Amino acid sequence: MKPETRNRLIALGAILVAGSALAWIAFGNIGENLVYYWKPSEMVAQGQKAYGATVRLGGVVVPGSVLFNTEHTALTFQVADSHKGDAVKVTVKSEQTPPQMFREGIGVVVEGAFSADQVFRTNRLMVNHSNEYRAPTDGGMPDEAWKNSLTKAE
Amino acid sequence: MKWLSLVLFLSLPVLADIAKPPPPAPAAVAPEPQHPQGIEKVPMGVIEGGWAYVYAAWGAGLLGLVGYAVSLYVRRSEAPPPGAP
Amino acid sequence: MASWIPLAGLIVLVALVIAQLAVPSSRAWVWKVAAGLGTLELAALLYFGLVWAPPEAFMSDVGRILYVHVPHVWACLVAFTINVACAIAYLMKKSWRTDALAEASAEIGVYFGAIGVLMGSIWARPTWGVWWDWDPRLISTTVMLLAYVGYLAFRSFTEDPERRAAWSAAAAILGYVSLPIVWFSVRWWNSLHQVQSTGSTVDKPMRAVLYWGNVTFLTFLLAFIIKRYELARARQSSALELPPVQAPKTEVAV
């Protein structure tokens, strides 16, 4: 075989392998096996199987649900699938001082364990910033800006 | 920064207005028995300060540019000039 | 910064690339112009990014890391795209030039990618609250960078230039699969990293500075690639012309 032909065959083979690998990842069901976090509804749907295992739970902080005791850094809040009123919610307890960006309505990912008392205890609280970058407005944070700052989740 | 804090401070009444629903009374949400007092709403979630992180990240970029340029300069001598025996 | 200024910078950059590729007589000075221009653009970026641009509403000044983190990763992705284009071109029509350019772009892509990830980690600490977490974006980016480190290692350990060029080109095509995975990882899977910003999710002044940052580091990308390419060419010619054990099998394509 001439080297040119061989090289072109190598190219064809590599492109075929690369393309099918990509298609497999993009359109296969690998996504179901690669779970970074569960949403509250997905975790609750697991029932008892979810208890005890160290997992990540992700969602949005329910407005009005945040209780924080600065003295004992005891933080309690609810995480919901979305901002819809009927979204599934899970109560989260943390003994960690949250990142400064932590606020009502923002997206969070917490690592810890869910237990039978329906409380998710975490010692690793991460804040999930949205892809929006806004200059502060003169009025501080008007109603609209506050609403827009809520993490968009379906 | 001072200006921003002032604006944020002055806007607290506005925020109190839009914060929905008002924080439930501690008793209503079954407070932790060991610390029933001192429960308060978490502040607004704006980072204060943090310039050290900015300088670290930008500094990494500048050092990287200089470092890579130096590495190219140093390696230049590795390769014999074209046409050398 | 007016929003047309980054566009003007991009046009100048494209003109330099065209000059380098199409006008042989310009090759002596294009890299110098790119390096000088990049330095000036960087000085402007320091001012516009750290002083002129407003702080972000929630991230405050920490949001200024945007202007260097995103451009570094962009430069990385552009470099790897050049790399795969050269790999395919080499296999279709053998040329030591495309082989050298593939080597140069891979190394510079790894450099920009590594610095970009480092910046991202520094940014994550104050915003996410952690330096690192194995979310799909961070996993896929790590795998991508390791794949290209492996590619460079393969190149440096393989003596025979023909074998090195052909098989590293095949590896480059396979390695490039990681790039769309990195890009779409934030959309395909739940992740801690946010999805890509678009024009409408970034306020105007910040957008202009972000684009300026992109132009700045792409200009450095050009200067670096030219110099690294010349290094690769010099090594090639010494490897192909010096007769060690075996005579060169092929002539240097000119």
The parent domain of residue A88 ranges over 35-149
Residue A85: what pLDDT? 79
CA distance C232 to C96: 10
Structure confidence at residue B84 as a pLDDT band (50, 70, 90): very low
A47-51, A74-78, C154-158: range with lowest mean pLDDT: A47-51
With an 8 Å Cβ cutoff, are A103 and B47 in contact? no
The SS3 call for residue C218 is helix
Taking alpha carbons only, the member of A132, A36, B55 closest to residue C123 is B55
Number of domains making up chain A: 2
Does residue A73 surpass a pLDDT of 90? no
Q: C50: which chain B residues are within 8 Å (Cβ-Cβ)?
A: 54, 58
Structure confidence at residue A3 as a pLDDT band (50, 70, 90): confident
B10 within domain boundaries: yes
Test the C interface: residue of B51, B66, B68 with most C CBs within 10 Å: B68
pLDDT in tens, A42-59: 998 888 888 988 999 999
With an 8 Å Cβ cutoff, are A140 and B22 in contact? no
CATH top-level class of C4-239: mainly alpha
Burial B42-75 (b: 16+ CB within 10 A, else e): bebbbbeebeebbebbbebbeebbeebeeebeee
CA distance C23 to C18: 8
Alpha helices in chain C (DSSP H): 4-22, 30-47, 66-92, 96-127, 136-157, 161-175, 178-188, 204-241
Does residue B14 surpass a pLDDT of 70? no
What is the DSSP track for A4-43? HHHHHHHHHHHHHHHHHHHHHHHHSTHHHH--S-B-HHHH
A121 and A56, same domain (yes or no): yes
Percent of chain A with pLDDT strictly greater than 70? 85
Structure confidence at residue A34 as a pLDDT band (50, 70, 90): confident
With an 8 Å Cβ cutoff, are B50 and C69 in contact? no
CA distance A79 to B1: 31
Test the C interface: residue of A129, A149, A150 with most C CBs within 10 Å: A129
> For the residues C210-234, what does the mean pLDDT come to?
96
Q: Which residues neighbour C83 within 8 Å (Cβ) at sequence distance 6 or greater?
A: C102, C105, C106, C109, C148, C172, C176
Does residue B85 surpass a pLDDT of 60? no
A12 Ramachandran zone, left/alpha/beta (phi>0; psi -120 to 50) = alpha
CA distance C13 to C15: 5
CA angle C139, A36, B50 (to 5 degrees): 70
Q: C115: which chain B residues are within 8 Å (Cβ-Cβ)?
A: 60-61, 64
Residue A150: what pLDDT? 60
A110-119, B21-30, C24-33, C119-128: range with lowest mean pLDDT: B21-30
Structure confidence at residue C2 as a pLDDT band (50, 70, 90): confident
With an 8 Å Cβ cutoff, are C228 and B72 in contact? yes
Residue C246: what pLDDT? 46
Structure confidence at residue A93 as a pLDDT band (50, 70, 90): very high
A125 against B11, higher pLDDT: A125
Taking alpha carbons only, the member of A78, A76, A44, A81 closest to residue A63 is A78
Residue A152: what pLDDT? 55
A136 and A106, same domain (yes or no): yes
Structure confidence at residue A31 as a pLDDT band (50, 70, 90): low
> For the residues C202-208, what does the mean pLDDT come to?
91
pLDDT in tens, C80-107: 999 999 999 999 999 999 999 999 999 9
Average pLDDT, chain C: 91
Ordered by start, the domain boundaries in chain C are: 4-239
Give how far B75 is from chain C: nearest CA, Å: 8
The SS3 call for residue C35 is helix
A25 and A88, same domain (yes or no): no
3-state helix/strand/coil string of chain B = CHHHHHHHHHCHHHHHHHCCCCCCCHHHHCCCCCCCCCEECCCCCCCCCCHHHHHHHHHHHHHHHHHHHHHHHHHHCCCCCCCCC
pLDDT in tens, C109-129: 999 999 999 999 999 999 999
Residue B39: what pLDDT? 35
Average pLDDT, chain A: 83
Residue B66: what pLDDT? 97
Residue A114: what pLDDT? 93
Report the neighbours of A using a cutoff of 3 or more CB pairs below 8 angstroms: B, C
A7 and A58, same domain (yes or no): no
B9 within domain boundaries: yes
DSSP state of C3: T
Q: Which residues neighbour C140 within 8 Å (Cβ) at sequence distance 6 or greater?
A: C178, C181, C182, C185
A98 and A39, same domain (yes or no): yes
Residue type, C66: L
Does residue C34 surpass a pLDDT of 80? yes
A115 and A57, same domain (yes or no): yes
A18 and A39, same domain (yes or no): no
CA distance A35 to B64: 34
B34 within domain boundaries: yes
CA distance C237 to C100: 11
Residue C236: what pLDDT? 86
Residue B43: what pLDDT? 52
A93 within domain boundaries: yes
A154 within domain boundaries: no
Residue B65: what pLDDT? 97
Residue C242: what pLDDT? 54
Test the C interface: residue of B72, B75, B76 with most C CBs within 10 Å: B72
Number of domains making up chain B: 1
A8-12, C142-146, C242-246: range with lowest mean pLDDT: C242-246
Closest Cβ–Cβ partner in C57, C127, C238 for B79: C238
B83 within domain boundaries: no
A142 within domain boundaries: yes
Give how far B36 is from chain A: nearest CA, Å: 9
With an 8 Å Cβ cutoff, are C235 and B46 in contact? no
A116 within domain boundaries: yes
Decide: C207 and C54 in contact? Cβ < 8 Å. Answer: no
Give how far B76 is from chain A: nearest CA, Å: 31
**What CATH number did the domain enclosing A114 receive?**
2.40.50.140
With an 8 Å Cβ cutoff, are C115 and B50 in contact? no
Give the bridge partners for A113, in sequence order: A54, A121
The parent domain of residue B6 ranges over 2-76
Does residue A92 surpass a pLDDT of 50? yes
**Cα dist. C72→A38, B68, C213 in Å?**
31, 14, 9
B48 within domain boundaries: yes
Percent of chain C with pLDDT strictly greater than 70? 95
Strands (E), A20-154: 54-61, 67-69, 74-80, 89-94, 107-114, 119-128
A100 and A44, same domain (yes or no): yes
Give how far A118 is from chain C: nearest CA, Å: 23
Give the bridge partners for A125, in sequence order: A110
Most confident of A28-32, A70-74, B13-17, B25-29: A70-74
A18 and A63, same domain (yes or no): no
Q: Is B48 touching A (CB cutoff 8 A)?
A: yes
A78 within domain boundaries: yes
Does residue C198 surpass a pLDDT of 90? no
A112 and A55, same domain (yes or no): yes
